[in-house]
Structure 1
């Protein structure tokens, strides 16, 4: 196979040839196992667990979750998975929904709050560190997002700022446990209490931490109250394809009561076809991810997750302590989950550091500056990380020294202002490609480029301009 596959073959090809083509297409992909990719993928370090999840996924692959009366197996598995999550998140009998991922869980939580409130021009109050899925949900569902700042030392939201942002149009208040960028837990108890005092639902985004924090607590970590046991918390999202280690995409959205869950549902009888009643945004969907989540949960069991919690806790502490000792680097906040954010300095550019680490076979996720929070590198610690902590810290230290020698990424003078002044909607994709090439960025290459200069330019731009550029970038790579 050479280049992209663009034409359907006249005759079908064998499974062996298909797998060979697939392997060739994946040659430039980041590895999903081994712990050198510190974002996007979650690895237990136990191949037999991932194989069990994959087998259960395949076993439910062709089951359609559109109609629960047609496939009782999906109802049984979903109830089992929801009960398992509810038992660890403060209310064993909590009603829930199995979704395709955190974004869909968040979308449904916002829909439920909006529909239950029945308020014109609804708003939701979220920290600036809340996941962009809330902005997506607000965009799709017509709910205005009111973002409030976080403390620039602890990186948690201030309850007083949340309270000040609440209006008569607020239908939902959001906190994170933890927030993805710095791995810290918002003051859930305080925020949920002030929301309850106004009779406003409070959603806890525990997509990252929901299936991790309970095990970290059992392993000895100090984890503040964050789940449905907290008075005022009305819903919570928990991704099982993160620290549940299930195949993508698997998430659970729990509600305090069934009435709020019913507000997340959608039904339509306004047509002459089959009955439409959906628990999720999707209608037809494979039960494969449900099977994969169910299989993974049972393959690991409580003891398996507790042991992964212990190793993850130790690895996180060692990485945070080790990174803080590297000259020119500092850890942002006090990580309370398996997420660590490392900021640089005038001498050590984190974007250059990330490129240097990539040359050495490690992917560290760059995060741009925003709302007073400096640019940094994000590390998600998984079950496989502990045995590679020393190697990771050695690569970070070596890459930091190389970044110091190279110096910061250079942003051409006047370029951010020029880009910000452009009307990107008036540029077609070929012209956008030429514009990128004029500043040394080849969007047509399949090779992995050095990203320090690109990230430095993006970092110098306002958020709205960043968004416009990223939309154009996506259009180009799929063009």
Structure 2
């Protein structure tokens, strides 16, 4: 065990039982303010990949006030809180509009607000399974590119669906539609394409996948969790971003996270359906329960109205003009950072990415670069197969000086990597989603389990004495 296993144990009380007497509110808030200020200082430098999409404390204060007005409300009780119907409905209407649901003329589109990208993907997969089951089709499968988010694998495992993963082109980092076609059979209910994928920031050939889905009579889910609220504005700004939304007839569902480039707080996302009948297939009904007739449109039951309020507030306050202005800054910053990487012959950007990108090296282990840059305050996410460094550009990177710092520190990192490679040294950094540092000294699954155990269970024990 290390001191890092027990954060703040040396500074603040450690609670293993409820305190005998309650702590004064101001003392509680003072402790929280101290932790928040120190942790904010880490990402405020702009050296953190992804994670903090807005980075604007004035915006956060605005959302906090909106959240606080409805934080105590359970949106299940619409008779007491009719505002939830307005807020949720308008969030979905705005998201559907952004992703061109007006192009759908043969069905009526709809959607759900969920708790995040994984929740949206889980609900989409549930909808496809249940819609198939209503037609008598069981034992179904989904075909996705290997770069598709692990939430698809998780959803299929939880729902008892087969997940078929298709390799991507190692140069373009996108999937070949012919290889996707080879994975389809009479029990396939949906294909998956990313716009864009998390790993490389590249967009699968959604147009081709949509045509394939139509030809084979299966659904196509576009994972726009990362790109759904920024790529449309990139298109408006003239960037070479292909159509990926409901303008393509074969696209039957899209996930898009409001808590990423929608600039809402963590805890909301949208999953949108070309046809409400597909969405409605996942509804849960239990009319014979002794507690009353029960129905839930999604997996969650109780939800805080605050999440709907702050998400709605973010979207309405920013408007198209605000979103487009932020997109302009992010795309131009991403272009500048990719140019910095391209100036080093030892490095190469993978594929043709958008606002987030990954880079690797054929000359040395790229994790040596990550090691040096961690010491300069950078927090990257590591990729594997091949090893690569991932950078998701968000608003904190658009502040003055960040690109210059990236250029200077990357140059040092490349020089350091050359030295370490020549000396036969092993890099410390590893490819752990979410940025957990450390090398892979154990077998991968054992290591991941140990990391999870540390996060969940170590704090249950009393910190060791001095």
**What whole-Å deviation, never above 9, does each CA across 1:222-265 have from its counterpart, x for those lacking one?**
11010011111110000011111111011111100110110122
Contact 2:50/2:394 (8 A) holds in 1:
no
Question: Which runs of no fewer than 5 residues in structure 2 stay unpaired?
Answer: 1-10, 103-107, 458-466
1:55 maps to what in 2? 65
**What whole-Å deviation, never above 9, does each CA across 1:191-234 have from its counterpart, x for those lacking one?**
11111222211100000000011111111201101001111111
2:46 maps to what in 1? 35
Matched ranges for 1:66-465 at <5 A: 66-92=76-102, 94-118=109-133, 119-335=137-353, 337-347=354-364, 349-369=365-385, 374-386=386-398, 387=400, 388-407=402-421, 409-410=425-426, 451=438, 454-455=439-440, 457=441
1:6 maps to what in 2? 16
TM-score (norm 2): 0.87
**Hey, what's the Cα distance between the residues in 2 that align with 1:274 and 1:401?**
68
After the TM superposition, which of the residue ranges 85-94 and 131-140 deviates more from structure 2?
85-94
**Hey, what's the Cα distance between the residues in 1 that align with 2:44 and 2:415?**
27
- Root-mean-square deviation over aligned CA pairs: 2.3
1:24 positional shift:
4.8
After the TM superposition, which of the residue ranges 141-150 and 92-101 deviates more from structure 2?
92-101
1:140 positional shift:
0.6
Contact 1:52/1:299 (8 A) holds in 2:
no
Question: Which runs of no fewer than 5 residues in structure 1 stay unpaired?
Answer: 412-438, 442-447, 459-464
Where 2:267 maps in the other structure, the secondary structure is coil
**Hey, what's the Cα distance between the residues in 2 that align with 1:231 and 1:102?**
23
1:30 positional shift:
7.4
Contact 1:102/1:237 (8 A) holds in 2:
yes
2:445 maps to what in 1? 467
Contact 1:192/1:230 (8 A) holds in 2:
yes
1:106 positional shift:
0.3
**What whole-Å deviation, never above 9, does each CA across 1:289-334 have from its counterpart, x for those lacking one?**
2212111112211111111111111111111111111242211011
1:450 positional shift:
6.0
Q: 1:198 to 1:450 in 2, by over 3 A?
A: closer
After the TM superposition, which of the residue ranges 254-263 and 15-24 deviates more from structure 2?
15-24
**Hey, what's the Cα distance between the residues in 2 that align with 1:351 and 1:3?**
37
TM-score (norm 1): 0.84
| Residue-pair matches, total | 429
Contact 1:148/1:162 (8 A) holds in 2:
yes
**Hey, what's the Cα distance between the residues in 1 that align with 2:191 and 2:41?**
36
Contact 1:104/1:280 (8 A) holds in 2:
no
**Hey, what's the Cα distance between the residues in 1 that align with 2:208 and 2:84?**
38
1:34 positional shift:
4.0
